[in-house]
């Protein structure tokens, strides 16, 4: 299984946008009229109708009322809930919700499960090409919702995080974010380790990775790059990622040493 969503926008975007255009045309409403009523630019409405951008709940509700669709356009909101996450990450998020264990390594960013809202907002608001405000808020809310895996699952999910030192040295990582890492590291089901610069191995420079095991004991490897990601159940891929991650964990500081390392950074803030 691979990141097939990378090649084109999700079907739900394209279908909802197509229906919005059909209802608008049938009701003899211009794109400019819909744009003005929904407080978007005509170009944004066009990209939604073409399925390039996700039709937002506000646009669907406004279009539904303007085109007298009697709830048929607004109903698309339920099918777009899944699109709170970027298209290429949706399959991974579904597997994460089923996970009984999750191991990860991050080379440049704090893992989404460990981010404060302020840190998440900085990343999401500064994405390029930029997202509209409504989608920014949806993405932030979705990221915060994902963090329920830390404390709200029964039985608890076994979680292991390794962060390269470069992640902690980023200017976006403030005292609040460091305290958040220490807070999560104190949970009984969490192991958080830091890989210092001087202990970096070649495997640590190849980018982030996640290993998941589901309740059905299926194992998945997720690797992500700037333009493509892949979720794979192929045993060969899973084994290679397991070996890389195991090597990195061996080189990283222990959880107790890592906590002291982070505490030292807090003291220097």
Question: Among candidates 267, 106, 122, which has minimal Cα distance to 182?
Answer: 267
Which pLDDT belongs to residue 92?
86
Lowest mean pLDDT segment, chosen from 87-96, 112-121, 139-148: 87-96
Which pLDDT belongs to residue 268?
82
Q: Which runs of E-coded beta strand occur in the chain?
A: 99-106, 158-164, 190-195, 209-214, 219-224, 229-232
Which pLDDT belongs to residue 203?
87
Distance, CA of 162 to CA of 253 (rounded, Å): 9
Distance, CA of 45 to CA of 18 (rounded, Å): 11
As a whole number, the mean pLDDT across the chain is 89
Question: Among candidates 23, 30, 25, which has minimal Cα distance to 71?
Answer: 23
Q: Quick one: pLDDT band at residue 87, thresholds 50, 70, 90?
A: low
CATH domain 7-83 topology: 434 Repressor (Amino-terminal Domain) (1.10.260)
CB 116 within 8 A of CB 180: yes
Is 70 exceeded by the pLDDT of residue 88?
no
Which pLDDT belongs to residue 131?
81
Is 60 exceeded by the pLDDT of residue 82?
no
What Rg do the C-alpha atoms of the chain give, in angstroms? 21
Q: Quick one: pLDDT band at residue 8, thresholds 50, 70, 90?
A: low
Which pLDDT belongs to residue 79?
75
Average pLDDT over residues 27-35: 95
Is 50 exceeded by the pLDDT of residue 3?
no
Which pLDDT belongs to residue 250?
96
Which pLDDT belongs to residue 243?
95
CB 169 within 8 A of CB 111: no
Average pLDDT over residues 83-94: 69
Which pLDDT belongs to residue 52?
83
Bridge partners (DSSP) of residue 223 are 209, 230
Is 70 exceeded by the pLDDT of residue 83?
no
| Residue 218, phi-psi category: left (phi > 0), alpha (psi -120 to 50), beta (remainder) | beta
Lowest mean pLDDT segment, chosen from 6-15, 63-72, 145-154, 161-170: 6-15
Residue that the structure tokens 């932030």 belong to: 140
* pTM, rounded to two decimals: 0.72
Selected residue with higher pLDDT from 267 and 187:
187
Could you tell me the residue ranges of all domains in the chain? Answer: 7-83, 85-114+146-267
Distance, CA of 258 to CA of 262 (rounded, Å): 6
Which pLDDT belongs to residue 112?
95
Instruction: Assign domain 85-114+146-267 to its CATH architecture.
Output: 2-Layer Sandwich (3.30)
CB 211 within 8 A of CB 241: yes
Which pLDDT belongs to residue 230?
86
Bridge partners (DSSP) of residue 159 are 102, 190
What strands lie across the sheet with 190-195, from one edge to the other? 190-195, 158-164, 99-106, 209-214, 219-224, 229-232
Which pLDDT belongs to residue 129?
78
């Amino acid at each position: 299984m691979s990141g097939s969503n990378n090649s084109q926008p999700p079907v739900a975007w394209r279908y909802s946008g197509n229906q919005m255009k059909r209802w608008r045309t049938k009701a003899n409403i211009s794109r400019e009229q819909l744009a003005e009523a929904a407080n978007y630019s005509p170009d944004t409405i066009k990209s939604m109708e073409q399925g390039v951008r996700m039709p937002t709940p506000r646009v669907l509700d406004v279009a539904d009322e303007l085109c007298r669709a009697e709830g048929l356009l607004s109903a698309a909101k339920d099918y777009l809930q899944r699109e709170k996450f970027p298209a290429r990450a949706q399959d991974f998020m579904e597997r994460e919700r089923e996970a009984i264990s999750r191991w990860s390594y991050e080379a440049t960013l704090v893992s989404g499960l460990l981010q404060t809202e302020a840190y998440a907002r900085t990343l999401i608001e500064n994405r390029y090409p930029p997202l509209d405000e409504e989608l920014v808020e949806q993405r932030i809310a979705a990221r915060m919702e994902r963090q329920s895996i830390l404390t709200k699952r029964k039985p608890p999910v076994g979680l292991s995080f390794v962060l390269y030192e470069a992640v902690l040295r980023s200017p976006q990582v403030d005292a609040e974010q460091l305290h958040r890492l220490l807070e999560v590291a104190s949970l009984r089901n969490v192991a958080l380790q830091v890989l210092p610069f001087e202990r970096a191995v070649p495997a640590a420079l190849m980018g982030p990775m996640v290993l998941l095991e589901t309740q059905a004991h299926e194992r998945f490897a997720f690797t992500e790059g700037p333009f493509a990601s892949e979720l794979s159940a192929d045993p060969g891929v899973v084994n290679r990622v397991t070996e890389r991650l195991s090597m990195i964990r061996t080189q990283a500081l222990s959880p107790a040493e890592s906590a002291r390392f982070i505490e030292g950074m807090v003291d220097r803030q």
